[in-house]
Amino acid sequence: MGLFDKIKEKLSNEFIDIIEWLDYTDDTICHRFERYQNEIKNNAKLIVREGQTAVFVNEGRLADVFEPGTYTLNTQNLPILTTLKGWKYGFDSPFKAEVYFVNTHLFTDEKWGTKNPITLNDERFGLVEIRAFGTYAFRISDPGIFIKDIVGTDNNFTNFEINEHLKSLIATRFTDTVGEANLPIELYAANTSELSETCKEVMQPEFQSVGISLEKFFIENVSMPEDLKKEIFEYSRIDKLDLDKLTKFKTAKAIEAAATNEGGTAGAGMGMGMGFVLAQQMGGMMSPQMGGQQMPPQQQAAATPPPMPQAVQYYYAANGQQHGPVSFEQLKSLFANRTVNRDSLVWKQGMSEWAALKDVEELKAFLGGSTPPPLPGA
């Protein structure tokens, strides 16, 4: 640098004093305005653009904060700095102070996720593990607190430096929230909007304590192991199906499949059985004109079986709601897949009130390990 350039720089530093920051990045949160020996002359121009806040720091102590606008720096608009400096009748020019520009626009599409699976205790499936990830958006709501507690003396603070802290905070609070929600495991993925709002309310005070406002929080996905997902799907289907109709449908399909297997033993046996049934039906329908004998009315009545006794239907309580009616076998299946347990309330026709499953005589067989009565004379 030549002598003329040095003189020009000195004159520029002495007579031209405009303090401003043009942000050409998308990730800078806080930038310290660099001046020669941090000197600022009297009546210097301070330009704060929209989406920015300027913060003056004097010898490590927070001073004046400026919102967007253009300011002429003097004792009238630097009241805190004037007090700190002890200026009574104006201030010396130049004076020393650090100026930090804080970016207050919205930082969007920040990623978060659980590094390790979260273990939950579900009433039906026991201990299960889930993972979650999503996005969030934040802005600096209190630049003074943010500089004092987070930035410190960093001259160019980016959102990368704060994101690791925020993601750890989010993962911790998310784990606490889903643990306390105590929802059935399949509802976590189905209620992401409600869960997102709850997590945001829980996390907001933590963010505010360091001068940050959590503007948006989204849970994009809650995942679980594939084997658990298949088990939940199977349970959901069984819970919605009529087990009696399902059993009849599968039996009919099995008969159809066996009948089409003409070359196999099963097919031959099934064909013979169906032939016998058809022969008996046709024999009973034959009239005397076709060579058959009409059975007397007494024999016809004796050959007709009485109607089947009506199966007992049960109602049961689950998740605070009444369900049913279901058959004995259906209730047994519900007990096997843990929809109901030994303490679940059940009711059938003839009972005066609801009773625990373990106290209904015919349902005690579900529990196993029955004890015989003592021997006579023992």
Q: Per-residue confidence at 40, pLDDT binned at 50, 70, 90? A: confident
pLDDT of residue 291: 47
Per-residue pLDDT reduced to its tens digit, 281-305? 444 444 444 444 555 555 555 566 7
In the predicted structure, residue 70 carries a pLDDT above the cut 60: yes
Taking CA atoms, 297 is separated from 15, 302, 303, 305, 307, in Å, by 128, 9, 10, 14, 18
**pTM of the complete model:** 0.54
Q: How far apart are CA 331 and CA 248, in angstroms?
A: 17
Per-residue pLDDT reduced to its tens digit, 130-162? 888 999 999 999 999 999 888 887 888 888 888
Q: Which stretches of 36-158 are DSSP H helices?
A: 79-85, 143-146
The most confident of the ranges 117-121, 150-154, 209-213 is 209-213
pLDDT of residue 249: 65
Radius of gyration of the CA atoms of the chain, in A: 41
Q: Read off the pLDDT of each residue in 366-371 and give the average, rounded to a whole number.
A: 67
In the predicted structure, residue 369 carries a pLDDT above the cut 90: no
Q: Per-residue confidence at 278, pLDDT binned at 50, 70, 90? A: very low
Per-residue pLDDT reduced to its tens digit, 336-365? 888 889 899 999 988 989 999 889 988 888
Q: Per-residue confidence at 319, pLDDT binned at 50, 70, 90? A: confident
pLDDT of residue 288: 46
CATH of domain 107-225: 3.30.479.30
Contact between residue 87 and residue 80 where contact means Cβ atoms under 8 Å apart: no
Angle between helices 243-260 and 328-336 (to 10 degrees): 100
Listed residue (358, 356, 360, 359) closest to 312, CA to CA? 360
Lowest mean pLDDT among 139-148, 194-203, 225-234: 225-234
pLDDT of residue 95: 75
Q: Per-residue confidence at 238, pLDDT binned at 50, 70, 90? A: low
Listed residue (208, 71, 220, 47) closest to 140, CA to CA? 208
Sign of CA dihedral 371, 372, 373, 378: negative
Cα angle value 50/52/56 (rounded, 5°): 135
pLDDT of residue 52: 92
Instruction: Delimit the domains of the chain by residue range.
Output: 3-103, 107-225, 314-366
Q: Read off the pLDDT of each residue in 191-211 and give the average, rounded to a whole number.
A: 89
Taking CA atoms, 337 is separated from 3, 66, 129, 343, in Å, by 90, 65, 20, 15
pLDDT of residue 91: 58
pLDDT of residue 267: 47
In the predicted structure, residue 16 carries a pLDDT above the cut 60: no
Q: Quote the DSSP letter at residue 359.
A: G
Q: Read off the pLDDT of each residue in 114-128 and give the average, rounded to a whole number.
A: 81
Q: What would the two tokens of residue 42 be? A: 């009297």
> Does 371 or 166 have the greater pLDDT score?
166
Q: How far apart are CA 334 and CA 355, in angstroms?
A: 17
Q: How far apart are CA 296 and CA 231, in angstroms?
A: 58
Q: Per-residue confidence at 120, pLDDT binned at 50, 70, 90? A: confident
In the predicted structure, residue 240 carries a pLDDT above the cut 80: no
Q: Per-residue confidence at 87, pLDDT binned at 50, 70, 90? A: low
Residues near 111 by beta carbon (within 8 Å), at least 6 away in sequence: 133, 134, 135, 167
